[in-house]
Structure 1
Amino acid sequence: MKKLLAFLLLCACCVFEVHSATGKAVINCKVYGKSQSGLFLYQLKDGDAHSLGFQRPDENGTCKFVVNVKEGAYFFRKAGGKGSGFKHVIYLKEGEEKKVDFYLGSLSLDYDSCIIEKPNTETLYLKDYMAAFNKYSETVWIKKDQSYAKYKAFEQYSTSFLQKHKTKNVHFNQWLVDKVGTDLKYLLAANYFGFGRRLNTSYDSTASVQDFYKPLLNKNIINNPALLNSENGMQMLHYVFAFWKFNKVKSGKDLNPFFFAENTPLIGNADVKVVYLADRMKNITKYEDFVSNVQPYKALFASAEMKKAYEKRYEDLYLFAKGTPGYNFELKDVNDKIHKLSDFKGKVVIIDMWAMWCAPCLKEKPIMGKIEQGYHDRNDIVFIGVSVDGINRSDIWKGFVKKNGFSSLELISDATSSIQQYYKIGGIPRFLVFDRKGNIVTVDAPMPSNPEFKKLIDRTLAAAN
């Protein structure tokens, strides 16, 4: 480990400059096998893989991407592809035109193989490394007890790989050093949490192996801009922050990667900090949280791209600020009667966004029903369910509502319209609260299973008197 870190530190002494020049690159694709699914293209950027959208192959299985390319790594994935990693990669440069063939089995969750015609040397090297990276990740994910020894072996492999795989492209050589160094830290931190997204469900607190994780205690991990050159950079940050928190409180409770107010000040590098903020602010749903946790760092959003992202998120959330008039929806109930938010002036309005296919939504429904019953003798509050199953499924939805005997007023909407679209709701269940004047209290309330939900209702009713 010490030899590898010394090698990476030596390489990191060179200042890495991202190429500012951009130009067109063309990828001509051919999908063999079942080709109806879309083909997604991702760009490695700012410590993550950002989707550039997808193309749906035609009847001959062909499609084409024309991208404003910045030299670097790009990834392919079948629509609906599974797993957090990427199997298929290409290294693109300005002006290149590449032909790529994809082979897909009838039951494949991702493409079985990806053949690039006349790949450049950078792509060949990167494909070899990614294959080894993915093989390691898949092995230790299934066989956790082997992770410690296998990590050491992969670490040695990575050192040897970097020493042997150098090109005439100085930019690529330095970038690859940054990526590999970040990936190793990511794998170490991910191993602690069992490669899980829910950080409070699994963690490796076995006393005998804690020395294995000591490198994660190095505070410089979060301040190295090299982490932005791996698609695992942002996820590595989340794991490291959670690891620090766990070692501080000695508990897996509340290791929420989306709570970043206490993490942001710990980042000393401005480039890393602004990317971290941009990544986290996408998950903010309350204007007040944006003002508290992002606005103090507004000056860091200096580039044109970052300024645009900041202003867009601010404008989106400003519409959802507490006290702002709520969106006056018009939706039908099970009897096809139209209801508007304005119909309920004088009442506190509680809205439950749900769908028939959403298991977490249905788990909260009975709890919401019990809470509603607690207010059955009041005429100044109304509980409304809004299904996003789609207008074309109205008949099925009506039967579902009747079968389950929901006591709240139930309305239906398309998933991409009305409340869902206006409040930019990306996931359900989601709970919204409006005061007697029809103004927003919150468009992201706690779930009914959280005691804070009922407390919020009681506070809103008291404030409305």
Structure 2
Amino acid sequence: MKKLLSVLFLFNLCIFSAYAGATNAVINCTIHGNSTSGLFLYQLQDGDAVSLGFKRPDANGNCSFNLDVKEGVFFFKKAGGKGHEFKTLIYLKAGEQKQVDFYIGKESIDYDSCAITKPNAETKSFQSWLNAMNEYAHAVKTKPSVGRSKYAQFEKFAASFLKTNKTVNPYFNTWLNDKVAIDLKYLRAGNYFGLGRLNAACDSSISAPEFYKPLLDKNIVNDVRILRSEHGMELLDYVFGYWKFNEVKNQQKVVDNFFSPENAAKITNDAVKVAFLMHKMPGIKEYENFVKYVEPYKNVFVTPKQKEAYNKLYNDLGPFAKGKPGYNFELKDVNDKTYTLAGFKGKVVVIDVWAMWCAPCLQEKPIMEKIAEGYHDRNDIVFIGMSVDGHAKKDAWKSFVKKNHFTSIELLSQFDESLFKYYKISGIPRFLIFDREGKIITVDAPKPSNPGFKKLLDATLNAN
């Protein structure tokens, strides 16, 4: 019965946001004021707001999005806008053509206002809920105790809102009820972390446990309504983070758990499970993690889009599996001496990919240097810094390395070449380890600040 309900829900969801064969809806946009700024468009898909890309307005501030959609929710965001929440949206139906005007001052970093010509009733209703959500979230963000005291009041508002915001569209009414229910759970779960990052402070007040008790329900992560809110995947992250913190009482382990897809094992609903895995898969950088956390659930990838994403990641990560030959880079150091991976045969090679502008990279640098110092009496391990600042910054990079007295071998590359390109590195810092034969140990090692990093080095050195 549970699988049947999931199939029926997915069928309805496809009707809600599926793409048809021909372009049948258009959003025409005009940006007034600073018309050089790009406009991003997002669509609500499977519990997340998925970017459809951005358009840069023409000389008159105009741009348009042609969409193959039967019915769906779309969010707007200014390129470089402040904050991560969405402020404006449109509910679009097949065949509609809508004009949206954005107003921005010369000194503004976000849109000052937005006006939709003849918005439909669904857009008006949903925008009212979005405004209320943002207002509440701003009032309680980083203030868990305030959130707990205001939550019951907001719940009452939500119930009243649903009663007074019914439209003639029965599907929309059902969807909005489901979304509001999930948004309320999201606000409760997120409140534990101050509606912020999972590495921020937690709500440790003595009076807090009773408020968060509903989050202990294991079925909360199997609620298929999660797919009907742009906060659905955030809700899962917060709930899993709350469970992990209560289990280990360790903030770093909560953060490590957040970036892992291992929580998929706790989700029994196939529709929610595959949405969660699709959400986490871009963060999987090791073939071994794909095999461990994704491959066991291959059967839940049923749509063409899901199968394509699964197969692409499988094929992309295959060459990066443990034991595969490492990419034989050829780069120069600060003295223009050329180094290659093959040139270090017989040594364990540790690579730190960094850049001068990357604050997290520079936080890890002294830790890496200290770890390297601990192996100074060994001749079978080498530490390499690989900057991706680019060849145009060569002189500045050389000065930076010398000024900071880095003791490791420092090489210069850029983001579109060499090791960075080959391993499809999308974020830094990134740490890679190769064995004495130049074969991969990992292309996504823990950070040096993580105790697991040195343990991995020692295990590699002790291997035959």
TM-score, structure 2 as length reference:
0.91
User: 1:142: how far off?
Assistant: 5.5
User: Take 2:227 and 2:33, find their aligned partners in 1: how far apart are those partners?
Assistant: 36
Partner of 1:49, secondary structure, is: strand
Stretch of structure 1 that moved more, 304-313 or 370-379: 370-379
Stretch of structure 1 that moved more, 431-440 or 340-349: 340-349
User: 1:399: how far off?
Assistant: 1.2
Stretch of structure 1 that moved more, 92-101 or 19-28: 19-28
Letter in 2 for 1:379: N
User: Take 2:9 and 2:350, find their aligned partners in 1: how far apart are those partners?
Assistant: 54
Aligned 1:288-299 pairs, distance under 5 A: 288-299=288-299
CA distance 1:250–1:330, shift in 2 (3 Å) = closer
User: Take 2:118 and 2:420, find their aligned partners in 1: how far apart are those partners?
Assistant: 46
Cα shift readout 1:165-203 (whole Å, capped 9, x = no counterpart): 12222221111111111100000111111112124x322
Residue 410 of structure 1 pairs with residue 428 of structure 2: no
User: 1:144: how far off?
Assistant: 4.2
Which residue does the alignment assign to 1:431? 431
CA distance 1:375–1:245, shift in 2 (3 Å) = closer
Which residue does the alignment assign to 2:155? 155
Partner of 2:50, secondary structure, is: strand
CA contact (8 A) 1:30 1:102 kept: yes
Letter in 2 for 1:406: F
Which residue does the alignment assign to 1:208? 207
Aligned 1:188-337 pairs, distance under 5 A: 188-199=188-199, 201-249=200-248, 252=251, 254-255=253-254, 256-261=257-262, 263-337=263-337
Cα shift readout 1:230-285 (whole Å, capped 9, x = no counterpart): 00001101111222333344554522322342x32322211111111221222121
Partner of 1:437, secondary structure, is: coil
User: Take 2:459 and 2:209, find their aligned partners in 1: how far apart are those partners?
Assistant: 46
Stretch of structure 1 that moved more, 388-397 or 106-115: 106-115
Letter in 1 for 2:260: F
Aligned 1:160-199 pairs, distance under 5 A: 160-199=160-199
CA distance 1:367–1:283, shift in 2 (3 Å) = same
User: Take 1:58 and 1:338, find their aligned partners in 2: how far apart are those partners?
Assistant: 46
Which residue does the alignment assign to 1:462? 462
Cα shift readout 1:98-121 (whole Å, capped 9, x = no counterpart): 211111233433212111112111
Which residue does the alignment assign to 1:6? none
CA contact (8 A) 1:196 1:202 kept: no
CA distance 1:453–1:26, shift in 2 (3 Å) = same
Aligned-residue CA RMSD in angstroms?
2.1
User: 1:21: how far off?
Assistant: 5.6
User: Take 2:141 and 2:285, find their aligned partners in 1: how far apart are those partners?
Assistant: 33
Residue 92 of structure 1 pairs with residue 97 of structure 2: no
User: 1:44: how far off?
Assistant: 0.6
Letter in 2 for 1:214: K
Which residue does the alignment assign to 2:131? 131
Q: Which runs of 5+ in 2 are unaligned?
A: 1-5
User: Take 1:218 and 1:387, find their aligned partners in 2: how far apart are those partners?
Assistant: 46
CA distance 1:442–1:172, shift in 2 (3 Å) = same
Stretch of structure 1 that moved more, 393-402 or 227-236: 393-402
Structure 1 vs Structure 2: percent identity of aligned residues?
58
Partner of 2:207, secondary structure, is: helix
Stretch of structure 1 that moved more, 381-390 or 339-348: 339-348
CA contact (8 A) 1:31 1:57 kept: yes
TM-score, structure 1 as length reference:
0.91
User: Take 2:434 and 2:208, find their aligned partners in 1: how far apart are those partners?
Assistant: 51
Partner of 1:282, secondary structure, is: helix
Stretch of structure 1 that moved more, 205-214 or 271-280: 205-214
